[in-house]
Amino acid sequence: MACKRESVFAYTATVKLFSATLVLLASAVSAADRPNILFIFSDDHALNAISAYGGPLKEIAPTPNLDRIADQGAIFTRSYCSNSICGPSRAAILTGKHSHINGYLDNGYFDKEYLEDVNFAFDGSQTTFPKLLREAGYQTALIGKWHLKTEPEGFDYWERLPGQGSYYNPHFIQQDGSQKQYQGYVTDVVTERTIDWLKSGRDKDKPFVLMAQHKAPHRNWSPALRHMDLWDDVVIPEPATLFDDYANRHPSLKDQEMSIEDNFFYGWDMKFHGETPYPEYFGSYPNYEYRRMTEAQKKQWDASYEEENQALLAAIEAGEMTDKDVTRWKYQRYIKDYLRCIRSLDEGIGEVLDYLDESGLAENTIVIYSSDQGFYLGEHGWYDKRWMFEESFAMPFLIRWPGVIEPGTRSEALIQNIDYAPTFLEIAGAAIPETIQGRSLLPVLKAGGKAPEDWREGLYYFYSGEMTHRVPAHDGVTNGRYKLMHFTRDDSWNLFDLKVDPQELNSLHDDASYAQVLKEMKTLYHDLRDEYRMSDSTLPAHRLGQGWWKQRYQKTLGKVAANGSDYELVFIGDSITQGWEGAGKETWNEFYGDRKALNLGYSGDRTEHVLWRLLNGELENVDPKAYVVMIGTNNTGHGLTPAAETAEGIKLIVELLKDRSPESEILLLSVFPRGQQPDDKMRVRNEEINGIIETYAYDDQVHWLDLTDTFLNEEGVLTKEVMPDALHPKQKGYRMWAEAMEPTLVELLK
Ligand code: SGN
Ligand code: CA
C-alpha cells in the first residue's frame, strides 16, 4: 500500500533480523539448514473431493498425488477457515489474524450504490508472514491467484493472476505491472511456472517459501481439454441432501442464491451457447471462458459438450424431464466439471512432487496443500461456500515434512488458517509477533498429530454477509463436537450436534435436552470472541451511507495519495478532533498551522469506524513524526459500551499505528471528560476506559497523556465555558487542550 513503507521496514528488518539471528544461534541451526516451505494452495477445494479424506467420491475420482502428501506426511481432519471466502481466507493466512483484525472482512462486493466508487482492498502495509520470513533470511515467492486487490508485498518474486484469474490462456500480472499471457490451461501454467521457479528462480544460498496458488477448482469449473470426457458414461452419486428442505434451521437457508436448482447460469456454469430457452431452469450469463479460447480449443470443447447439451434440450422439449430431473442433470454437469478441474490439479501436484524428488529438494522441503475454504458439492442443494456448515467451513490441510512428521499421521487437532503464519515463523526460527492470533502447529506436528494439553478448545468463525449469493452475516464457534451459529440480522442461534447430525440438518437450540450444551456453547462463544478481540468496538465498520462522511473520507484519501508523506503530525479521533476545523480553528492555526498537521477526526466516529478508515487507505503514504489519538467517547455514548470493550478498540488502533509506522511517536490521550458532574454515568465510564488505556503506553513508542483535569474546575465540574454541551470543547476548551499538550508535542516532534 504505502510506498514509503519500504524504508521503514528496512530499519525494522535490521532490528528483527538481529533478534531472529539470536533465536537461530540459540537453537544452533544454520540458515542453510532451515527447511524450505512449498505452500500449494487451491481455490474452493472441498474435502469431499480429496480421496485421502475418504468421502463418497474417493473411488470414482481419486486424487493420488494429494494423497501422496498425506501418506508421506500428515492429514488434518479438523482443519477450518476463519471466514469462508477467498480474499479473507488469504488475508488470515498472511497475517495469522482473524478478519476483523487484518481488516479484510469480505471480497468487497456490495450492492449499495454508495459503495460503488470505494475500493475495498487488503491493507498490504501490515505485517505478514512473507515479510517476516524475508527478514529472517528466506527467499519469498508467489505464483498464481492472489485476489487481495493490492499488490503482493513481502515477496522477492511474484507473478499473479488478475482478480479471479481465467482458466484458458490466462494472463498473469508481472512484478513490473505488465501483463503476460500464457497459452494453455491455467492449472498447467501455474504448475509449470512453479517448477520453473524452483529450477531457475531460486537463490540456492537461502531457504525459500513458495506459495503456488491455483485458480482451480473455482467457478466456472472449466476443465482442461484432456479431461473433458472423464466420467462421460458414469452417474456420479448424489449427496443425500441434494433436495434439502431447509427445515429446522435459520430461515435464511431458504433465501440464499447458491442453489443448484435455481442459481446456475446457462452459459457460464452449464456450458451451453446462446440465451437460455428455459429461464425457469437457467439464468442468463455467457461463458466468458469460451470466448478466451482459440478456435482449436473451442472445437474440442464443443465436441465434448454439445451432444449432451442438445440431448437435454430435446428431452425438456419433449416433456420428459421433471424439475427434479433437471436439477439432477445440472448436478451431474457441475460435479463432473468440478472433478475434472481437480484432476488437472492433482496431476500438477504430482509433477511438482516428482520434481522435488528428482532435484533432491524433497528432503528439506515442507510441502503443504490447502485451499482457501471448502465448498458445497451439492450438499444442501448448494454450490459455493460462505456458511459455517462443515462443507465450506472445513479447509483441506495436508503436510509432508520428511524426518519430522511420521508418514501416515492423522491429526484431529482443531486447527485454523490463522495458524499457518505462526507455524511458518517458528519453522524459520523467526519470532512470532504477540499480536498474531493463530498458534504454531509445530507442537502438534512433532507429537504425531496429537494436540498438546493446552491446545485450543474451540474455533471462532465470522462471515460478513456480502451480497454475492445472499448468505447472511453470521459468526459462531465449534468445539469439534457441537457447533453454535449466531445470525446477526435477527440475533438468533442455531446449535448442531455433529456426532448425531453430521449433516447439520436439525438445529437443537430450542431442544430442552440440549439446554446445558447451549449454555456451554454460548460461554465458549463469548470467551472466544473475547480471546480473539471481537466486539462491536473492534469490528471495522464504515459510515459510507452518510454522504458527508463518505465525502470527508474520500477527500482524505485524495490528500494522502497526493501528500501523505508530508504530514508530520496526524490527529485521529471523532467530532472533538474534527472540531479543530470549527471552534478550534484559530488555536489550530496558531499551534499546528506550521507543523504539517492532518486532521483525521470524524464527527460521531467510534473506535470501529476509525479502525475501518485506517485499514482502508487513510494511512496510505502517511508516516508522520507523531500521531495524536483521542477516541472512545462515542462508544460510551452508544449504549454505554463496557469500558473494556472500548479500550480494546483503542488498543487495536494503537497496535495498528505501531505496525504501520514503527518509527512514529504515538501520543495517546485520555478520553475527554463528559457530563457536567463528576458522577455523570458517561463521565465515569470514560474514566474507566482511561484506567485501562493508560497501560498501553508500555514502550518507548506510545506516550500517555491524561488531560482530564485540564478541562475541569476545582470541584470537578465541566463548565459551560469549556464545553457548553458537556462533551465538545468550545474555543476556550481547544486552547486549553493545545496548551496542555504542547510541551509533550515539542518533545515528540524533535
Ligand atoms: C465469483 C463467483 C461466485 C463466488 C465468488 C467468490 N461468481 O464472484 O460464485 O462465490 O467469486 O469466490 S462468478 O460468476 O464470477 O464465477 S471466491 O473464491 O473468490 O471467494
Ligand atoms: Ca475460494
Is residue 389 packed enough to be buried (19+ CB in 10 Å), middle (13-18) or exposed (0-12)? buried
Which of 357, 430, 364 has the alpha carbon at shortest distance from 401? 364
CB of 218 closer than 6 angstroms to any ligand 1 atom: yes
Query: Residue 48 above 50 pLDDT?
Result: yes
Instruction: For residue 575, indicate whether it is catalytic.
Output: yes
Query: Residue 325 above 50 pLDDT?
Result: yes
Instruction: List the Cα angle 350/356/361 in 5-degree steps.
Output: 160
Q: Average per-residue pLDDT in the chain?
A: 94
Per-residue pLDDT band for 118 (boundaries 50, 70, 90) equals confident
Active-site pick, 71, 156, 565, 575: 575
Global pTM exceeds 0.85: yes
Residue 341's pLDDT is 99
For ligand 2, the distance from its centroid to the CA atom of residue 375, given in whole angstroms, is 8
Helix (H, G, I), strand (E, B) or coil at 475: strand
Query: Residue 112 above 90 pLDDT?
Result: no
User: Which of the residue ranges 7-16, 495-504, 693-702, 736-745 would you say has the lowest mean pLDDT?
Assistant: 7-16
- Residues of the chain with pLDDT > 90: what percent? 93
Q: What is the mean pLDDT of residues 480-492?
A: 98
Query: Residue 196 above 80 pLDDT?
Result: yes
Extract the C-alpha cell encoding 406. Answer: 511420521
Mutate to test the pocket of ligand 1, among 218, 262, 270 (most ligand atoms within 8 A of CB): 218
Distance, CA of 262 to CA of 276 (rounded, Å) = 13
CB of 214 closer than 6 angstroms to any ligand 1 atom: no
Residue spans of alpha helices (H) in 56-139: 64-72, 86-95, 99-102, 129-135
Query: Residue 9 above 70 pLDDT?
Result: no
User: Which of the residue ranges 115-129, 440-454, 728-742 would you say has the lowest mean pLDDT?
Assistant: 115-129
685 φ/ψ sector (left φ>0, alpha ψ -120 to 50, else beta):
alpha
Residues flanking ion ligand 2, Cβ below 5 Å: 43-44, 86, 372
For ligand 2, the distance from its centroid to the CA atom of residue 233, given in whole angstroms, is 29
Per-residue pLDDT band for 407 (boundaries 50, 70, 90) equals very high
User: Which of the residue ranges 23-37, 205-219, 379-393, 602-616 would you say has the lowest mean pLDDT?
Assistant: 23-37
Distance, CA of 253 to CA of 387 (rounded, Å) = 9
Q: Whose CA is nearest to atom 19 of ligand 1?
A: 86
Query: Residue 564 above 50 pLDDT?
Result: yes
Distance, CA of 683 to CA of 121 (rounded, Å) = 37
Per-residue pLDDT band for 467 (boundaries 50, 70, 90) equals confident
More confident of the two residues 21 and 190:
190
CB of 384 closer than 6 angstroms to any ligand 1 atom: yes
The size of the chain, in residues, is 750
Residue 354's pLDDT is 98
For ligand 2, the distance from its centroid to the CA atom of residue 308, given in whole angstroms, is 29
Q: What is the mean pLDDT of residues 246-268?
A: 98
Per-residue pLDDT band for 19 (boundaries 50, 70, 90) equals very low
Ligand 1 atom nearest residue 285's Cα:
14
Query: Residue 436 above 60 pLDDT?
Result: yes
Q: Domains, the chain, ranges and CATH? A: 36-220+343-456 (3.40.720.10), 228-238+246-334 (no CATH), 474-531 (3.30.1120.10), 547-748 (3.40.50.1110)
CB of 469 closer than 6 angstroms to any ligand 1 atom: yes
Query: Residue 392 above 50 pLDDT?
Result: yes
**75-88 tens-digit pLDDT:** 999 999 999 999 99
Residue spans of alpha helices (H) in 622-695: 633-637, 643-660, 681-693
Q: Whose CA is nearest to atom 13 of ligand 1?
A: 219
Q: What is the mean pLDDT of residues 634-641?
A: 98
Residue 113's pLDDT is 56
Q: What is the mean pLDDT of residues 715-740?
A: 98
Q: For residues 303 and 347, is the Cβ–Cβ distance under 8 A?
A: no
**328-369 tens-digit pLDDT:** 999 999 999 999 999 999 999 999 999 999 999 999 999 999
Q: What is the mean pLDDT of residues 34-50?
A: 98
**At 479, phi and psi to the nearest 5?**
-110, 15
Give the list of residues 6+ apart from residue 14 with CB closer than 8 angstroms, or none.
none
Distance, CA of 446 to CA of 740 (rounded, Å) = 56
Q: What is the mean pLDDT of residues 558-585?
A: 97
Per-residue pLDDT band for 116 (boundaries 50, 70, 90) equals low
Q: What is the mean pLDDT of residues 206-228?
A: 98
Residue 120's pLDDT is 83
Residue with C-alpha cell 476509525?
610
Q: How many CB atoms lie within 10 A of CB 260?
A: 25
Instruction: For residue 728, indicate whether it is catalytic.
Output: yes
Distance, CA of 442 to CA of 374 (rounded, Å) = 24
CB of 286 closer than 6 angstroms to any ligand 1 atom: no
Q: For residues 145 and 192, is the Cβ–Cβ distance under 8 A?
A: no
Q: How many CB atoms lie within 10 A of CB 545?
A: 11
Distance, CA of 247 to CA of 241 (rounded, Å) = 12
Q: Whose CA is nearest to atom 8 of ligand 1?
A: 468
User: Which ligand is in closest contact with the Cα of 42?
Assistant: 2
Query: Residue 8 above 80 pLDDT?
Result: no
Residue 33's pLDDT is 85
Residue 32's pLDDT is 53
User: Which of the residue ranges 4-8, 192-196, 441-445 would you say has the lowest mean pLDDT?
Assistant: 4-8
